[in-house]
Protein backbone atom coordinates (compact mmCIF):
# COMPACT_ATOMS: atom_id res chain seq x y z
CA UNK A 1 0.00 0.00 0.00
CA UNK A 2 1.41 3.39 -1.04
CA UNK A 3 1.45 6.55 1.02
CA UNK A 4 -0.99 8.57 -1.05
CA UNK A 5 -2.35 11.75 0.46
CA UNK A 6 -4.57 13.68 -1.88
CA UNK A 7 -5.95 11.77 -4.85
CA UNK A 8 -8.66 9.16 -4.49
CA UNK A 9 -7.22 5.71 -3.79
CA UNK A 10 -8.10 2.52 -5.59
CA UNK A 11 -7.27 -1.20 -5.58
CA UNK A 12 -4.42 -2.17 -3.23
CA UNK A 13 -4.29 1.35 -1.88
CA UNK A 14 -7.90 1.34 -0.75
CA UNK A 15 -7.63 0.25 2.84
CA UNK A 16 -10.00 -0.88 5.55
CA UNK A 17 -13.42 0.03 4.22
CA UNK A 18 -14.40 -3.21 2.53
CA UNK A 19 -17.40 -3.63 4.80
CA UNK A 20 -18.61 -0.11 4.07
CA UNK A 21 -18.38 -0.90 0.36
CA UNK A 22 -20.53 -3.98 0.86
CA UNK A 23 -22.99 -2.05 2.96
CA UNK A 24 -23.38 0.77 0.42
CA UNK A 25 -23.68 -1.68 -2.47
CA UNK A 26 -26.43 -3.50 -0.61
CA UNK A 27 -28.36 -0.31 0.04
CA UNK A 28 -28.11 0.56 -3.64
CA UNK A 29 -29.98 -2.59 -4.58
CA UNK A 30 -33.16 -0.84 -3.50
CA UNK A 31 -32.37 2.74 -2.62
CA UNK A 32 -30.43 5.78 -3.69
CA UNK A 33 -27.66 6.95 -1.39
CA UNK A 34 -26.65 10.39 -0.16
CA UNK A 35 -23.09 10.30 1.16
CA UNK A 36 -22.16 13.54 2.87
CA UNK A 37 -18.99 14.30 4.76
CA UNK A 38 -16.19 16.81 5.13
CA UNK A 39 -13.49 17.05 2.50
CA UNK A 40 -10.93 14.30 2.27
CA UNK A 41 -12.71 11.65 4.26
CA UNK A 42 -12.61 9.27 1.33
CA UNK A 43 -15.96 9.77 -0.42
CA UNK A 44 -14.66 9.49 -3.97
CA UNK A 45 -12.46 6.52 -3.12
CA UNK A 46 -15.32 4.57 -1.60
CA UNK A 47 -17.74 5.57 -4.34
CA UNK A 48 -15.32 4.21 -6.93
CA UNK A 49 -14.96 1.01 -4.93
CA UNK A 50 -18.75 0.75 -4.89
CA UNK A 51 -18.82 1.30 -8.66
CA UNK A 52 -16.30 -1.51 -9.10
CA UNK A 53 -18.34 -3.73 -6.83
CA UNK A 54 -21.63 -3.25 -8.68
CA UNK A 55 -19.89 -3.58 -12.06
CA UNK A 56 -18.72 -6.98 -10.90
CA UNK A 57 -22.41 -7.82 -10.53
CA UNK A 58 -23.12 -6.78 -14.10
CA UNK A 59 -24.20 -3.18 -13.54
CA UNK A 60 -23.07 -0.28 -15.61
CA UNK A 61 -21.67 2.60 -13.59
CA UNK A 62 -20.70 6.16 -14.44
CA UNK A 63 -19.26 9.03 -12.44
CA UNK A 64 -19.90 12.74 -12.84
CA UNK A 65 -18.41 15.54 -10.79
CA UNK A 66 -20.72 18.53 -10.91
CA UNK A 67 -18.74 20.99 -8.74
CA UNK A 68 -18.09 23.23 -11.74
CA UNK A 69 -21.69 23.18 -12.99
CA UNK A 70 -23.37 26.53 -12.72
CA UNK A 71 -26.83 25.43 -13.82
CA UNK A 72 -29.12 22.57 -14.74
CA UNK A 73 -27.85 22.36 -18.26
CA UNK A 74 -24.32 21.96 -16.94
CA UNK A 75 -25.58 18.93 -15.02
CA UNK A 76 -27.19 17.37 -18.08
CA UNK A 77 -24.06 18.07 -20.09
CA UNK A 78 -21.94 16.16 -17.63
CA UNK A 79 -24.40 13.30 -17.62
CA UNK A 80 -24.31 13.16 -21.41
CA UNK A 81 -20.55 13.23 -21.62
CA UNK A 82 -20.21 10.38 -19.16
CA UNK A 83 -23.00 8.30 -20.70
CA UNK A 84 -21.88 8.57 -24.31
CA UNK A 85 -18.91 6.17 -24.20
CA UNK A 86 -20.80 3.82 -21.89
CA UNK A 87 -23.75 3.62 -24.28
CA UNK A 88 -21.46 3.21 -27.26
CA UNK A 89 -20.19 0.02 -25.66
CA UNK A 90 -23.66 -1.56 -25.66
CA UNK A 91 -23.45 -3.56 -28.83
CA UNK A 92 -26.93 -5.03 -29.14
CA UNK A 93 -29.65 -3.76 -31.44
CA UNK A 94 -31.38 -2.12 -28.54
CA UNK A 95 -28.06 -0.49 -27.76
CA UNK A 96 -27.93 1.10 -31.20
CA UNK A 97 -31.48 2.41 -30.82
CA UNK A 98 -30.59 3.89 -27.45
CA UNK A 99 -27.42 5.45 -28.85
CA UNK A 100 -29.46 7.08 -31.62
CA UNK A 101 -32.00 8.42 -29.17
CA UNK A 102 -29.13 9.60 -27.10
CA UNK A 103 -27.56 11.60 -29.88
CA UNK A 104 -30.84 13.42 -30.29
CA UNK A 105 -30.99 14.07 -26.53
CA UNK A 106 -27.45 15.44 -26.62
CA UNK A 107 -28.48 17.98 -29.20
CA UNK A 108 -31.43 18.97 -27.06
CA UNK A 109 -29.14 19.46 -24.08
CA UNK A 110 -26.91 21.69 -26.18
CA UNK A 111 -29.81 23.83 -27.26
CA UNK A 112 -31.23 24.23 -23.73
CA UNK A 113 -31.40 27.80 -22.60
CA UNK A 114 -30.47 28.50 -19.03
CA UNK A 115 -32.13 31.03 -16.77
CA UNK A 116 -30.56 34.44 -16.83
CA UNK A 117 -29.25 35.21 -13.38
CA UNK A 118 -30.01 38.55 -11.88
CA UNK A 119 -32.54 39.61 -14.47
CA UNK A 120 -35.10 40.71 -11.90
CA UNK A 121 -38.62 39.41 -12.33
CA UNK A 122 -37.70 38.43 -15.85
CA UNK A 123 -35.21 36.02 -14.28
CA UNK A 124 -37.98 34.29 -12.36
CA UNK A 125 -40.15 33.86 -15.42
CA UNK A 126 -37.31 32.59 -17.49
CA UNK A 127 -36.23 30.37 -14.63
CA UNK A 128 -39.60 28.69 -14.47
CA UNK A 129 -40.05 28.34 -18.18
CA UNK A 130 -36.65 26.80 -18.70
CA UNK A 131 -36.94 24.62 -15.66
CA UNK A 132 -39.74 22.75 -17.37
CA UNK A 133 -37.62 22.47 -20.44
CA UNK A 134 -34.58 20.91 -18.79
CA UNK A 135 -36.58 18.56 -16.59
CA UNK A 136 -38.14 17.10 -19.72
CA UNK A 137 -34.79 16.60 -21.45
CA UNK A 138 -33.36 15.18 -18.22
CA UNK A 139 -36.20 12.67 -17.92
CA UNK A 140 -35.78 11.59 -21.54
CA UNK A 141 -32.10 10.93 -20.96
CA UNK A 142 -32.80 8.81 -17.88
CA UNK A 143 -35.58 6.98 -19.68
CA UNK A 144 -33.20 6.10 -22.50
CA UNK A 145 -30.66 4.51 -20.26
CA UNK A 146 -33.40 2.83 -18.22
CA UNK A 147 -34.33 1.06 -21.46
CA UNK A 148 -30.88 -0.54 -21.76
CA UNK A 149 -31.03 -4.00 -20.32
CA UNK A 150 -28.79 -3.43 -17.35
CA UNK A 151 -28.80 -1.86 -13.98
CA UNK A 152 -27.11 1.47 -13.74
CA UNK A 153 -25.31 3.33 -11.02
CA UNK A 154 -24.87 7.05 -11.52
CA UNK A 155 -22.41 8.53 -9.07
CA UNK A 156 -22.88 12.30 -8.77
CA UNK A 157 -20.03 13.90 -6.85
CA UNK A 158 -20.27 17.37 -5.25
CA UNK A 159 -23.95 17.96 -5.96
CA UNK A 160 -24.32 20.43 -3.06
CA UNK A 161 -21.65 22.68 -4.60
CA UNK A 162 -23.62 22.86 -7.83
CA UNK A 163 -26.78 23.76 -5.92
CA UNK A 164 -24.96 26.47 -3.97
CA UNK A 165 -23.60 27.74 -7.31
CA UNK A 166 -27.13 28.08 -8.66
CA UNK A 167 -28.33 29.91 -5.57
CA UNK A 168 -25.37 32.27 -5.58
CA UNK A 169 -25.50 33.07 -9.28
CA UNK A 170 -29.23 33.72 -9.34
CA UNK A 171 -30.39 35.57 -6.23
CA UNK A 172 -33.93 35.97 -7.58
CA UNK A 173 -34.86 32.48 -8.66
CA UNK A 174 -31.93 30.35 -7.48
CA UNK A 175 -33.62 28.84 -4.44
CA UNK A 176 -36.70 28.04 -6.44
CA UNK A 177 -34.59 26.37 -9.12
CA UNK A 178 -32.78 24.27 -6.54
CA UNK A 179 -36.10 23.14 -5.17
CA UNK A 180 -37.21 22.26 -8.67
CA UNK A 181 -33.99 20.34 -9.26
CA UNK A 182 -34.41 18.31 -6.08
CA UNK A 183 -38.08 17.73 -6.86
CA UNK A 184 -37.15 16.55 -10.32
CA UNK A 185 -34.72 14.16 -8.76
CA UNK A 186 -37.19 12.84 -6.25
CA UNK A 187 -40.44 12.83 -8.20
CA UNK A 188 -39.97 13.17 -11.93
CA UNK A 189 -37.05 10.77 -12.20
CA UNK A 190 -38.80 8.15 -10.14
CA UNK A 191 -41.90 8.30 -12.28
CA UNK A 192 -39.95 7.46 -15.45
CA UNK A 193 -40.58 4.00 -16.87
CA UNK A 194 -37.43 1.98 -16.22
CA UNK A 195 -36.24 4.33 -13.49
CA UNK A 196 -36.02 1.45 -11.01
CA UNK A 197 -33.01 0.10 -12.91
CA UNK A 198 -31.14 3.38 -12.38
CA UNK A 199 -29.64 4.02 -8.95
CA UNK A 200 -27.97 7.18 -7.73
CA UNK A 201 -25.09 7.69 -5.37
CA UNK A 202 -24.89 11.38 -4.54
CA UNK A 203 -22.02 12.77 -2.54
CA UNK A 204 -20.78 16.10 -1.33
CA UNK A 205 -18.47 17.85 1.03
CA UNK A 206 -20.66 20.78 1.99
CA UNK A 207 -23.90 20.21 3.81
CA UNK A 208 -26.75 19.55 1.48
CA UNK A 209 -28.71 18.97 4.67
CA UNK A 210 -27.99 22.49 5.91
CA UNK A 211 -29.05 23.90 2.56
CA UNK A 212 -32.35 22.06 2.43
CA UNK A 213 -33.18 22.86 6.05
CA UNK A 214 -32.46 26.52 5.59
CA UNK A 215 -34.73 26.74 2.59
CA UNK A 216 -37.40 24.43 4.02
CA UNK A 217 -36.96 21.73 1.43
CA UNK A 218 -35.85 18.86 3.63
CA UNK A 219 -38.64 16.77 2.14
CA UNK A 220 -36.80 16.70 -1.18
CA UNK A 221 -33.89 14.60 0.09
CA UNK A 222 -35.78 12.37 2.49
CA UNK A 223 -36.07 9.61 -0.04
CA UNK A 224 -32.31 9.17 -0.21
CA UNK A 225 -30.60 6.85 2.23
CA UNK A 226 -28.27 9.12 4.22
CA UNK A 227 -24.85 7.63 4.85
CA UNK A 228 -21.56 8.86 6.26
CA UNK A 229 -18.03 7.56 6.67
CA UNK A 230 -16.92 6.92 10.21
CA UNK A 231 -13.30 7.28 11.24
CA UNK A 232 -11.26 4.09 11.64
CA UNK A 233 -11.34 2.31 14.96
CA UNK A 234 -7.96 2.68 16.68
CA UNK A 235 -6.84 -0.89 15.89
CA UNK A 236 -7.57 -0.45 12.19
CA UNK A 237 -5.79 2.90 12.13
CA UNK A 238 -2.75 1.33 13.81
CA UNK A 239 -2.82 -1.52 11.30
CA UNK A 240 -2.85 0.98 8.43
CA UNK A 241 0.16 2.85 9.79
CA UNK A 242 2.05 -0.39 10.36
CA UNK A 243 1.32 -1.47 6.83
CA UNK A 244 2.63 1.83 5.49
CA UNK A 245 5.73 1.59 7.66
CA UNK A 246 6.50 -1.89 6.31
CA UNK A 247 6.15 -0.58 2.76
CA UNK A 248 8.62 2.26 3.42
CA UNK A 249 10.86 0.30 5.81
CA UNK A 250 10.36 2.63 8.72
CA UNK A 251 10.84 0.96 12.11
CA UNK A 252 7.51 2.13 13.52
CA UNK A 253 6.53 0.14 16.61
CA UNK A 254 2.94 -0.55 17.58
CA UNK A 255 3.34 1.93 20.44
CA UNK A 256 4.56 4.59 17.99
CA UNK A 257 1.61 3.89 15.71
CA UNK A 258 -0.77 4.18 18.64
CA UNK A 259 0.80 7.49 19.60
CA UNK A 260 0.24 8.76 16.07
CA UNK A 261 -3.37 7.65 16.04
CA UNK A 262 -3.86 9.29 19.43
CA UNK A 263 -2.34 12.53 18.16
CA UNK A 264 -4.65 12.64 15.13
CA UNK A 265 -7.56 11.72 17.38
CA UNK A 266 -10.09 11.43 14.53
CA UNK A 267 -8.60 8.55 12.61
CA UNK A 268 -9.81 9.25 9.12
CA UNK A 269 -7.38 7.62 6.68
CA UNK A 270 -6.39 10.89 5.01
CA UNK A 271 -5.03 12.41 8.19
CA UNK A 272 -3.12 9.22 8.95
CA UNK A 273 -1.63 9.33 5.45
CA UNK A 274 -0.64 12.97 5.84
CA UNK A 275 0.88 12.43 9.29
CA UNK A 276 2.79 9.45 7.95
CA UNK A 277 3.97 11.45 4.96
CA UNK A 278 5.43 14.16 7.20
CA UNK A 279 7.01 11.53 9.44
CA UNK A 280 8.73 9.99 6.41
CA UNK A 281 10.02 13.37 5.28
CA UNK A 282 11.32 14.29 8.74
CA UNK A 283 12.98 10.92 9.13
CA UNK A 284 14.78 11.22 5.81
CA UNK A 285 16.09 14.64 6.86
CA UNK A 286 17.12 13.54 10.35
CA UNK A 287 17.57 9.78 10.34
CA UNK A 288 19.21 9.75 13.77
CA UNK A 289 16.36 11.33 15.68
CA UNK A 290 14.10 9.11 17.78
CA UNK A 291 10.80 8.36 16.01
CA UNK A 292 8.85 9.33 19.08
CA UNK A 293 10.10 12.90 18.81
CA UNK A 294 9.40 13.08 15.12
CA UNK A 295 5.79 11.94 15.51
CA UNK A 296 4.87 15.03 17.44
CA UNK A 297 6.72 17.20 14.96
CA UNK A 298 4.95 15.52 12.05
CA UNK A 299 1.57 16.43 13.52
CA UNK A 300 2.74 20.00 14.06
CA UNK A 301 3.98 20.25 10.48
CA UNK A 302 0.46 19.48 9.27
CA UNK A 303 -0.84 22.79 10.57
CA UNK A 304 1.99 25.10 9.49
CA UNK A 305 1.41 27.74 6.80
CA UNK A 306 1.85 26.25 3.37
CA UNK A 307 1.09 22.73 4.61
CA UNK A 308 -2.36 23.56 5.86
CA UNK A 309 -4.39 23.75 2.68
CA UNK A 310 -6.85 21.14 3.85
CA UNK A 311 -7.83 22.99 6.97
CA UNK A 312 -8.89 26.15 5.17
CA UNK A 313 -11.82 24.26 3.78
CA UNK A 314 -13.20 23.72 7.27
CA UNK A 315 -13.36 27.47 7.69
CA UNK A 316 -14.67 28.19 4.20
CA UNK A 317 -17.52 25.75 4.38
CA UNK A 318 -18.94 27.67 7.33
CA UNK A 319 -19.34 30.67 5.03
CA UNK A 320 -20.66 28.54 2.23
CA UNK A 321 -23.46 26.92 4.15
CA UNK A 322 -24.34 29.35 6.93
CA UNK A 323 -25.67 32.88 6.93
CA UNK A 324 -23.11 35.60 7.56
CA UNK A 325 -24.13 36.00 11.20
CA UNK A 326 -24.27 32.31 11.93
CA UNK A 327 -20.88 31.75 10.32
CA UNK A 328 -19.40 34.45 12.55
CA UNK A 329 -21.07 32.95 15.65
CA UNK A 330 -19.77 29.51 14.69
CA UNK A 331 -16.25 30.84 14.32
CA UNK A 332 -16.49 32.47 17.74
CA UNK A 333 -17.53 29.30 19.55
CA UNK A 334 -15.01 27.18 17.68
CA UNK A 335 -12.33 29.65 18.67
CA UNK A 336 -13.20 29.10 22.30
CA UNK A 337 -13.41 25.31 21.98
CA UNK A 338 -9.99 25.28 20.31
CA UNK A 339 -8.30 26.69 23.40
CA UNK A 340 -8.30 23.33 25.11
CA UNK A 341 -7.85 19.85 23.59
CA UNK A 342 -10.62 18.75 25.93
CA UNK A 343 -12.97 21.39 24.55
CA UNK A 344 -15.35 23.80 26.26
CA UNK A 345 -18.50 23.43 28.34
CA UNK A 346 -21.81 24.20 26.62
CA UNK A 347 -22.65 26.96 29.13
CA UNK A 348 -19.41 28.77 28.33
CA UNK A 349 -20.07 28.44 24.61
CA UNK A 350 -23.62 29.71 25.02
CA UNK A 351 -22.28 32.71 26.92
CA UNK A 352 -20.18 33.60 23.88
CA UNK A 353 -23.27 33.67 21.67
CA UNK A 354 -25.20 35.68 24.27
CA UNK A 355 -22.47 38.27 24.37
CA UNK A 356 -22.65 38.53 20.59
CA UNK A 357 -26.42 39.10 20.70
CA UNK A 358 -26.72 41.67 23.50
CA UNK A 359 -29.99 43.15 22.29
CA UNK A 360 -31.88 39.96 21.70
CA UNK A 361 -33.82 37.73 24.10
CA UNK A 362 -31.90 34.99 25.83
CA UNK A 363 -34.05 32.31 24.13
CA UNK A 364 -32.91 33.52 20.74
CA UNK A 365 -29.28 33.18 21.70
CA UNK A 366 -29.99 29.71 23.01
CA UNK A 367 -31.75 28.74 19.79
CA UNK A 368 -28.81 29.98 17.72
CA UNK A 369 -26.39 28.07 19.91
CA UNK A 370 -28.31 24.81 19.76
CA UNK A 371 -28.67 25.04 16.01
CA UNK A 372 -24.95 25.68 15.50
CA UNK A 373 -23.97 23.11 18.11
CA UNK A 374 -25.80 20.43 16.14
CA UNK A 375 -24.50 21.52 12.75
CA UNK A 376 -20.93 21.54 14.04
CA UNK A 377 -21.40 18.10 15.54
CA UNK A 378 -22.96 16.70 12.38
CA UNK A 379 -20.22 18.19 10.21
CA UNK A 380 -17.53 16.67 12.44
CA UNK A 381 -15.96 19.83 13.82
CA UNK A 382 -16.57 18.74 17.37
CA UNK A 383 -18.26 16.10 19.51
CA UNK A 384 -19.78 16.12 22.98
CA UNK A 385 -17.32 14.37 25.26
CA UNK A 386 -18.69 13.48 28.68
CA UNK A 387 -15.96 11.02 29.59
CA UNK A 388 -14.40 13.31 32.19
CA UNK A 389 -17.66 14.27 33.93
CA UNK A 390 -19.30 17.43 32.64
CA UNK A 391 -19.99 17.50 28.92
CA UNK A 392 -17.52 19.39 26.78
CA UNK A 393 -17.56 20.11 23.08
CA UNK A 394 -14.14 19.23 21.78
CA UNK A 395 -12.58 19.18 18.33
CA UNK A 396 -12.69 15.82 16.62
CA UNK A 397 -9.55 16.34 14.61
CA UNK A 398 -6.72 17.40 16.89
CA UNK A 399 -4.60 18.87 14.06
CA UNK A 400 -7.60 20.98 13.07
CA UNK A 401 -7.84 22.27 16.64
CA UNK A 402 -4.19 23.24 16.60
CA UNK A 403 -4.66 24.92 13.25
CA UNK A 404 -7.72 26.81 14.50
CA UNK A 405 -5.79 27.93 17.53
CA UNK A 406 -2.83 29.06 15.45
CA UNK A 407 -5.10 30.97 13.09
CA UNK A 408 -6.66 32.81 16.00
CA UNK A 409 -3.45 33.68 17.78
CA UNK A 410 -1.44 36.79 17.00
Residue of the chain from 23, 27, 39, 63 that contacts ligand ATP (CB under 6 A): 39
3-state secondary structure of 33: strand
**Is residue 175 part of the contact set for Mg ion (CB under 5 A)?**
no
Residue of the chain from 25, 80, 273, 321 that contacts ligand ATP (CB under 6 A): 273
Shortest distance in whole angstroms from residue 31 CB to ligand ATP: 21
**Is residue 373 part of the contact set for ligand ATP (CB under 6 A)?**
no
Shortest distance in whole angstroms from residue 99 CB to Mg ion: 30
Contact present, 172 and 120 (Cβ < 8 Å): yes
Give whichever of 50 and 87 is closer to ligand ATP, judged by the CB atom: 50
Q: Considering CB distances under 5 to 8 angstroms, the limit depending on partner class, which of ligand ATP, Mg ion, none binds residue 135?
A: none
> Within 10 A of 408 (CB to CB), how many other CB atoms are there?
14
Shortest distance in whole angstroms from residue 354 CB to ligand ATP: 35
Shortest distance in whole angstroms from residue 11 CB to ligand ATP: 11
Shortest distance in whole angstroms from residue 140 CB to ligand ATP: 30
Give whichever of 38 and 138 is closer to ligand ATP, judged by the CB atom: 38
Report in angstroms the alpha-carbon separations of 60 from 53, 90, 188: 11, 10, 22
Going residue by residue from 189 to 218, which x/- string records binding to ligand ATP, judged by CB under 6 A? ----------------x-------------
Contact present, 50 and 28 (Cβ < 8 Å): yes
* 200-218: b (≥16 Cβ within 10 Å) or e: bbbbbbbbbbbbbebbeee
Contact present, 198 and 152 (Cβ < 8 Å): yes
Question: For residue 16, is it left (φ>0), alpha (ψ between -120 and 50) or beta?
Answer: left
Report in angstroms the alpha-carbon separations of 314 from 162, 327, 337: 18, 12, 15
Euclidean distance between CA atoms 187 and 163, whole angstroms: 18
Residue of the chain from 25, 44, 143, 176 that contacts ligand ATP (CB under 6 A): 44
Shortest distance in whole angstroms from residue 63 CB to ligand ATP: 11
Report in angstroms the alpha-carbon separations of 159 from 84, 202, 223, 400: 21, 7, 16, 25
Residue of the chain from 44, 176, 245, 301 that contacts Mg ion (CB under 5 A): 44
User: Phi and psi (nearest 5°) for 62?
Assistant: -130, 160
Residues lying near Mg ion in the complex (CB under 5 A) are found at 43-44
Q: Rule CB under 6 A: which residues touch ligand ATP? A: 4-9, 14-17, 39-45, 205, 269-270, 273
Amino acid sequence: MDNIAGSPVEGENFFGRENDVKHLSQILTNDDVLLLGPRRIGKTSIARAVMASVRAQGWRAIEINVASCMDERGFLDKLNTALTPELASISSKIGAAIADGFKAATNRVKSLKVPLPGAGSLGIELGEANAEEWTKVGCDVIQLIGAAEARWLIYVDELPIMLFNIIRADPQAGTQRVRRFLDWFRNDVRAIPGAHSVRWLVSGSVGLDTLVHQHAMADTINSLSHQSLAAFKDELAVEMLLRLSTRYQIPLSETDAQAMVGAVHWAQPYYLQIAFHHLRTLLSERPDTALKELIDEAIDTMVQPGMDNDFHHWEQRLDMQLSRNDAAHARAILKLAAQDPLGAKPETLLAVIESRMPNEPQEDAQRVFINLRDILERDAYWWPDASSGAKRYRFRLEPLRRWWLRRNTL
